[in-house]
Amino acid sequence: MSLQSLAQTMSSTGSAGYGASANPGATPPPAWVGAVGQGGSTFASTLGPLMSANSARYNRAMAGNEQTLSVNQANAQENQVRRMGREALGRQSAAFAASGVGYQGSSGAALKQSAINEELDALNTRYKGAVTGYGYGAERELYGRQAGMYNLTAAAQLLKGAGSNYSFAPQTAQSQDAGF
């Protein structure tokens, strides 16, 4: 018997078919039976936040993977920029040497400026990867906080459902007759 059909049976017959009207000699059910019968929807309403929490945890893991991947890609791209910069400096030096102007004066200043620009390009590439990685890290933390909130929501749903079906007040003959 599914939880949903059990809940329908309990709500249509009163307290799971027990009590004065259904079976006068029957032992009354434990307190949790009424909570399950009337709180079947509580259990179902708890599934949504739990599924959302699982999704948020998965998204958190994926954002962490993206963070690592973006930093690794930036490091690889930085190495490629540096390699290409060294090649460009080599071609520039070879051109100066082939023309016979040497490495003094304006040709030396041009080589120095090219080396500075190559270093700035490499550092900008690294910085871009670090900023992208930071964004994924912030997203990862957000997903982690969402998962926690969804778990709290699910726990609140369970407590709300259980608390609405169970009373801590002592049972008296008058409260039992009134259905409390």
pLDDT tens digits along 82-106? 999 999 999 999 998 888 888 888 8
- pLDDT at position 26 over 70: no
Q: Are 133 and 78 a contacting pair, CB within 8 Å?
A: no
pLDDT of residue 53: 87
Q: Are 147 and 57 a contacting pair, CB within 8 Å?
A: yes
Distance between CA atoms of 158 and 180, rounded to whole angstroms?
A: 21
Number of domains observed in the structure of the chain: 1
pLDDT of residue 65: 93
Residues of the domain holding 79:
45-165
Q: Give me 3's structure tokens.
A: 């939880």
- pLDDT at position 7 over 50: no
Look over the chain and give the mean of its residue pLDDT values, rounded to a whole number.
76
pLDDT of residue 82: 95
Residue 155 belongs to some domain of the structure: yes
What amino acid occupies position 35?
Answer: A
Residue 128 belongs to some domain of the structure: yes
pTM of the model: 0.55
Which residues lie across from 23 on neighbouring strands?
19
Residue 109 belongs to some domain of the structure: yes
Residue 154 belongs to some domain of the structure: yes
Q: Are 154 and 35 a contacting pair, CB within 8 Å?
A: no
> Residue 120 — pLDDT band, cuts 50, 70, 90?
very high
pLDDT of residue 74: 94
Q: Give helix 40-99 / helix 106-164 axis angle, nearest 10°.
A: 180
19: left (phi over 0), alpha (psi -120 to 50) or beta: left
pLDDT of residue 168: 55
Q: Give helix 40-99 / helix 3-13 axis angle, nearest 10°.
A: 150
pLDDT in tens, 121-178: 999 999 999 999 999 999 999 999 998 888 888 888 777 765 555 555 556 665 555 5
